[in-house]
Amino acid sequence: MTTRIEKRFAALKAEGRAALVTFTMSGDPDTATSLAVIKALPKAGADLIELGMPFTDPMADGPAIQAAGVRALAAGQTLSKTLAMVRDFRTEDDDTPIVLMGYYNPIYIYGVDRFLVDAKAAGVDGLIVVDLPPEEDEELCIPALKAGVNFIRLATPTTDDKRLPAVLNNTSGFVYYVSITGITGSAAPDATKVAAAVTRIKRHTTLPVAVGFGVRTAEQARMIAQGADGVVVGSALVDVLRASLDKDGKATPLTVKAVADLVADLSQGVRGAKAAAE
């Protein structure tokens, strides 16, 4: 069965452009506002939605996304509430792919089998679990694939040709290329190096390659989109959301619009790459 992720990338390939993949933290700054944000994303130009699962020890995340997770947890966000948000989103949008991104611990505590049943029923299309290497595929990756949920892996600048086949084995949906070494949101990617890395990865796989970490502006998105199948933006969206909050860290009437406006701008950048190529 073709997943929403596969359908979306195929449609965009036919259109001749890259995907804009947006990341926000579920439950940041509260469940209702977070749901309103994700509902606004497709209308603003997001092609795929990554939804963070807040966790108490997010070792791969930079300060902005760590702080978003802290806000979400403080507001009472749980994995069950995240799945409920996806269910609610699906009542209005049955097409936009949703990928849950985070760490294995909350899924392990929830129970892998139960989680996969509930995630699939809610309308989750894929998982990115950053602390599960290929050597532990039996834990979650293989069961997820059997359940019809794409398991998306990260490749980095340090993933050499010897390691790539292991990373790509059992990967589905797309490959997420982390364009810079280090934590999220820390530096801007080099478009020339990124394009070369995407070409190298594509020698090993037919899957689309989406590039993230460090993309903050429409111009950066346009540059990356010229050499990749997708552009992932996370920290910039989390930052603009945080900047819209009041002094107590609560949502304001500007919060949803602030995120949607940046997504609309980034979307123009991604779509501009196609125009530049023609």
Instruction: Establish whether 139 is a catalytic residue.
Output: no
Q: DSSP per residue over 6-20, as a string?
A: HHHHHHHHHHT-PEE
Query: 226 by DSSP, 3-state: which?
Result: coil
Q: How many helices (H) and strands (E) does the chain have?
A: 12, 9
In whole angstroms, what is the distance from residue 14 CA to residue 9 CA? 9
Q: DSSP per residue over 77-114, as a string?
A: --HHHHHHHHHHHHTT-SSS-EEEEE-HHHHHHH-HHH
Report residue 25 CA to chain centroid gap. 10
**Cα dihedral angle (63, 83, 167, 182), rounded to 10 degrees?**
0
Query: 48 by DSSP, 3-state: which?
Result: strand
**From 47, 61, 118, 137, active-site residue:** 61
Instruction: Establish whether 50 is a catalytic residue.
Output: yes
Question: Per the structure block, which two tokens stand in for 30?
Answer: 């509260």
**From 50, 118, 125, 239, active-site residue:** 50
Report residue 236 CA to chain centroid gap. 13
In whole angstroms, what is the distance from residue 126 CA to residue 148 CA? 9
User: Mind telling me the catalytic residues?
Assistant: 50, 61
